[in-house]
Structure 1
Amino acid sequence: MDSKVWFQRLDNPDRIEGIASLLLRRGRLTPQVVILCPDAGFMVKLDERLWTIHPESFLAHGVAASDAAENAQHPILLALDVCRDNKPGVLINGTCEVPPELDGFSSIVDFVDAWSEPLMQASRERFRSYRQLGLDPQYIAQTEKK
Structure 2
Amino acid sequence: MAKISFYLFEKSPERRVQSTCRLCRKISKQHAKIWIYCPDPEVQQQLDELLWTFDPASFLAHGIDQKDAPICISAHLPTQAEWIVFNFNNQALDQVGQFSHIIEIIENDEPAKQIGREKYKTYRRLGFAPQTFKL
Quickly name the TM-score band, shorter chain normalised. 0.7 to 0.9
What do the CA deviations read for 1:106-136 (whole angstroms, capped 9, x no partner)? 11100222x2123212211110001111111
- Contact 1:36–1:82 (CA<8 Å) still a contact in 2? yes
1:68 matched residue in structure 2: none
CA distance in 2, matches of 1:35, 1:90: 8
CA distance in 2, matches of 1:135, 1:100: 11
- Contact 2:16–2:106 (CA<8 Å) still a contact in 1? no
- Contact 1:82–1:101 (CA<8 Å) still a contact in 2? no
Give aligned-pair identity as a percent.
29
Deviation at 1:99, TM superposition (A): 2.6
Q: What stretches of structure 1 of length at least 5 have no aligned partner?
A: 65-70
CA distance in 1, matches of 2:122, 2:35: 21
**Counterpart of 2:96 in 1: which secondary structure?**
coil
CA distance in 2, matches of 1:37, 1:92: 8
What do the CA deviations read for 1:81-118 (whole angstroms, capped 9, x no partner)? 11236x643111122211343332111100222x2123
Deviation at 1:26, TM superposition (A): 2.5
Amino acid of the structure 1 residue aligned with 2:95 = E
CA distance in 1, matches of 2:51, 2:94: 25
**Counterpart of 2:6 in 1: which secondary structure?**
strand
1:4-23 pair list within 5 angstroms? 4-10=3-9, 11-12=12-13, 14-23=15-24
Amino acid of the structure 2 residue aligned with 1:82 = L
CA distance in 1, matches of 2:85, 2:131: 15
CA distance in 2, matches of 1:41, 1:52: 17
In the alignment, is residue 137 of structure 1 matched against residue 130 of structure 2? Answer: yes
Amino acid of the structure 2 residue aligned with 1:4 = K
- Size of the aligned set, in residue pairs, is 133
CA distance in 1, matches of 2:30, 2:86: 13
1:67 matched residue in structure 2: none
Deviation at 1:13, TM superposition (A): 5.6
Q: What stretches of structure 2 of length at least 5 have no aligned partner?
A: none
Moved over 3 A (4+): none
Amino acid of the structure 2 residue aligned with 1:15 = R
- Contact 2:28–2:34 (CA<8 Å) still a contact in 1? no
CA distance in 2, matches of 1:19, 1:39: 15
TM-score normalised by the chain length of structure 1:
0.81
Amino acid of the structure 2 residue aligned with 1:104 = Q
Amino acid of the structure 2 residue aligned with 1:63 = I
